[in-house]
Amino acid sequence: MLNVLAERTFRHLFAAQLIALIGTGLATVALGLLAWQLAGEDAGLVLGTALAIKMVAYVTLAPVAAVVAERLPRRAFLVALDLVRAGVVLFLPFVTEVWQIYVLIFFLQAASAGFTPAFQATIPDVLSEEKDYTKALSLMRLTEDLEQLASPMLAAALLTIVTFPVLFAGTVAGFVASAILVATVALPVRAVGEPEGFWAGVTKGARIYLATPRLRGLMVMEMSVAAAGAMVYVNTVVLVQARLGLGEPQVALAFAAFGAGSMLAAFLLPRILDRFADRPVMISGAALMVAGVAATSAADNLGFLLALWALVGFGFSLTQTPIGRILNRSARAEDRPAVFAAQFALSHAAWLVTYPLAGWIGSTYGLPAAAVTLSVIGAVALVAVMVLWPSHDPQDLAHDHADLPPDHPHLREHAAPGHRHPYQIDDLHRRWPSAT
């Protein structure tokens, strides 16, 4: 897995992601403490609202940012957004009103909505071989899980010698360092498609998604993942402290179990994906998540809960890590940023639904009801995935072009009988062939 770091450009991009993740983790801790300082016992409401603002920014702005990115140099775009994020965080220590948090969070997440899909779409251009790209995806998944464990511990250590506003300085430093690392490499030139209108560019990723069966399945799978994941992220603290009567260290241990399961899967995935196709691996992962959440209604001790959360974490990584491979396979290089942006927006739309649902059902009807409801949603979505994403999903599809003249360049390029080639939705291929 680590041999992909021998590629200098990826090594710098990976380091940029790692440092920015650590900085973001410090900001998460500091933001919670800032909310407590300003709102006291209403801090949870403040953080919940901030999370909702984050999701709304991701859902609405990612496709727009993808269109803007197409008109700008790739490296300059990423560096500029890193510096914007650093500049926004720089203001957080000076906040005195709750509404100021909301405004700054919106601008911070707006920049992230542009940065993250553009960054993700760059990696397959840097590592064009699928085996290398798969290793890179697993390595980045592993890094994200490690960050979730390391950042809180780093924040706790720093808070023994500094006050929490200083943590924001660490976030600023992380984004600045990320910008410097991106600036030190020459990124592959972005493939350019035919010029199109702004609105057509905004909707392009969604149009490709809706026209591609495997991407329709992936879109619904995100609801299954979000339903199970919301139970973990929203209700773990209630499960551990209210239901089991334990304390904060056990809450941290439960989240650590989830992260450990995810890291184990990320470590094993390159070998798993050498043997099995993406679809069965991802469906198995989603099924593990749904089963683990369903079983939490019977979790009456910490050991059982830790085992369940490790299982859910393992499934989470099985579903999330191969996504880049699916997107890369389903779009031309020039359309890839739009498709990554659509994935970013649509997946966060699912979380925007399940986050508040998990909290509301848990507080109103109890944790068993939340577990059952979310697992049912996840199971229904999983059945829909198996219908929408055919098990027979070849890359090369036979099709015809009755609307093209015989001397069209595309027909001359693919002159073999049956006209078969890797099929991706574009201007010449607007609909998926009904027969493969």
| pLDDT given for residue 436 in this prediction | 46
pLDDT tens digits along 152-188: 667 767 777 878 888 889 899 999 999 999 999 988 8
Q: In this prediction, what percent of the chain has a pLDDT beyond 70?
A: 91
Q: What pLDDT shows up at residue 371?
A: 92
Note the pLDDT tens digit of each residue in 351-371. Answer: 888 888 888 888 788 889 999
pLDDT in tens, 192-244: 656 566 666 777 878 888 888 999 999 999 999 999 988 888 888 788 878 88
**310 CB-near residues (< 8 Å, 6+ apart):** 257, 258, 260, 261, 264
**What digits encode the pLDDT tens for the residues 309-326?**
999 999 999 999 888 888
Domain annotation for the chain: domains and CATH numbers: 1-190 (1.20.1250.20), 202-391+425-431 (1.20.1250.20)
Q: What is the average pLDDT across 113-141?
A: 85
Burial group, residue 298, by CB count within 10 angstroms (0-12, 13-18, 19+): exposed
pLDDT of 123 reads 86
Residue 70's pLDDT is what? 78
Residue 150 to residue 227: CA distance in whole angstroms: 26
Dihedral (Cα; 110, 116, 122, 126), 10-degree rounding = 150
Whole-number pLDDT of residue 132 = 86
Token code pair at residue 246: 């334990």
pTM, full prediction: 0.82
Phi and psi for 397 in degrees, rounded to 5? -125, 135
Task: List pLDDT tens digits, range 235-246.
Answer: 887 888 788 888
Average pLDDT, the chain: 84
Burial of 48 (0-12, 13-18, 19+ CB in 10 A): middle
